[in-house]
Amino acid sequence: MLQQVRYTVHGEVQMVGYRYFTIRQAKKYSITGYVRNLVDGTVEVVAQGTPEQLASFAAALKQGPPSGRVDHIEAAAGGEIQRQFTTFSLRW
């Protein structure tokens, strides 16, 4: 069953390649959705996948790229999926 989760990633996650790291992990785990920087210095990730895919993806997000630092991640289940994504993309 397809699920959606919105992650807010806190730490040193902007200007360190975190979004591109996230895109690589999304492809690795067949996740669809998007990633973008937010003005408060966090990174937002909206991900759709099976519970197993999302668990593996979330574990990777907690690690992040070597050049960054993840302090913590807030995860909110997206509820009913209004729009199903077909790819994983970078948003501005």
Catalytic residues: 19, 37
C-alpha R_g of the chain: 12
- Quote the CA–CA distance of 31 and 48 in Å, as a whole number: 6
CB proximity list for 71: less than 8 A, separation 6 or greater: 10, 11
